[in-house]
């Protein structure tokens, strides 16, 4: 027997499927409102694309509304884009909305516990009902279909936890990239490659490498451990050498 419910969009696209570069179309109305329409995929680099679109808005823009209907895929970088939008609105004191979510991006918002109508402006939460004195036991799976759904739910919960960890790690990673860009005049992509290479060659988590580099940049901050310093130096040399080679082609 088949179900009449529409299939849920997949949370991940095929690894061999090419990413659709993010594009942002902008329209500014006479009353100062700006409408941005992103299209493509919210993946690594999407925050930079959005930042460029926001920087090109004219002075005096009083409101920014994003229509997300053209976004076809989103990973943890897309959730980082929401943070960037929220930070922009707070910094410039303008309201920002992001509506029109569909397909896989909407599913990711659901799993992350965000409002799918507008994650930047969720409705006020109702007071939580009082918990029962004795929680009712969960019913046992009644069939193989129920067991399969339980396994799928566990997979989704694990993926959400991975997305949340990625969001928590993003600020310190972005700070470390900024330090590398300022100290070595490298591009954002080169800074990312240096951090990733140091993480791989020192067998250390990327966030740990970024945190050690950020702490060492503070006045009287502790230097990174020897293995991280060595890995950073090697990754920096490789990345700069590759960049010079590309320029010479």
- Digit-coded pLDDT (tens) for 18-70: 556 789 999 999 998 999 999 988 888 888 888 898 989 998 899 999 999 99
pLDDT tens digits for range 99-146: 999 988 888 888 877 888 888 887 766 555 655 566 666 655 556 666
Reply yes or no on whether the pLDDT at 232 is more than 70: yes
- The candidate with the shortest Cα–Cα distance to 33, out of 63, 69, 67, is 63
- The candidate with the shortest Cα–Cα distance to 163, out of 174, 175, 152, 155, is 155
Q: What is the predicted pLDDT for the residue at 133?
A: 60
Are the CB atoms for 178 and 197 separated by under 8 Å? no
Tokens of 237: 């040399």
Helices within 36-187 (DSSP H only): 46-55, 76-92, 103-111, 144-184
Tokens of 110: 């659901």
CA 203 to CA 226: how far, in whole Å?
Answer: 13
Reply yes or no on whether the pLDDT at 161 is more than 80: no
Percent above pLDDT 70 for the chain: 76
Any idea what DSSP says for residue 112? Answer: T
**How much is the average pLDDT of 173-196?**
88
Q: Across all residues in the chain, what is the average pLDDT?
A: 79
Confidence of residue 249 (pLDDT cuts 50, 70, 90): very low
Are the CB atoms for 200 and 233 separated by under 8 Å? no
């Amino acid at each position: 027997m088949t179900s009449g419910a529409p299939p849920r969009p997949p949370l991940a696209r095929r690894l061999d499927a090419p990413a659709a570069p993010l594009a942002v179309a902008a329209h500014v109305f006479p009353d100062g409102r700006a409408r941005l329409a992103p299209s493509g995929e919210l993946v690594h680099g999407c925050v930079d694309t959005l930042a460029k679109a926001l920087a090109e808005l004219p002075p005096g823009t009083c409101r920014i509304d994003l229509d997300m209907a053209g976004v076809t895929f989103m990973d943890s970088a897309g959730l980082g884009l929401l943070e960037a939008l929220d930070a922009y609105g707070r910094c410039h004191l303008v309201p920002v909305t992001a509506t029109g979510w569909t397909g896989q991006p909407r599913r990711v918002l659901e799993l992350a516990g965000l409002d799918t109508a507008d994650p930047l402006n969720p409705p006020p939460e109702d007071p939580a009902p009082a918990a029962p004195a004795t929680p009712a036991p969960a019913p046992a799976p009644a069939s193989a279909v129920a067991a399969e759904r339980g396994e799928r739910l566990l997979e989704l919960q694990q993926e959400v936890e991975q997305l949340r960890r990625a969001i928590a790690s993003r600020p310190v990673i972005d700070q470390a990239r900024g330090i590398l860009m300022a100290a070595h005049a490298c591009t954002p992509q080169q800074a990312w490659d240096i951090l990733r290479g140091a993480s791989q060659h020192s067998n250390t988590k990327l966030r740990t490498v970024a945190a050690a580099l950020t702490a060492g940049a503070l006045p009287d901050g502790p230097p990174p451990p020897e293995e991280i310093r060595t890995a950073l130096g090697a990754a920096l040399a490789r990345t700069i050498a590759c960049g010079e080679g590309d320029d010479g082609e």
